[in-house]
Amino acid sequence: MDDDSSIYVVPQGEEDPADKPWLQRLFDNHWLLLLLGIVVPTLSYTVWAWIELLLTKKAELP
């Protein structure tokens, strides 16, 4: 067994980004996480507020 191709070791810091799972690549992108952390709550609370406004009955004035 003189085949050295099975003993290939990737040096530290030189990993191929295509070898990582897509979820790990997503969590490694800090700017994307920051953007998602701002956009998702903003959109969800805005949609929730519009639904509440549409479903609220008009108040009767005294």
pLDDT in tens, 17-48: 678 999 999 889 999 999 999 999 999 999 99
Structure tokens at 28: 């490694």
Give the global pTM.
0.57
Neighbours of 20 (CB within 10 A): 13
CB proximity list for 25: less than 8 A, separation 6 or greater = 17
Q: What is the pLDDT of residue 1?
A: 53
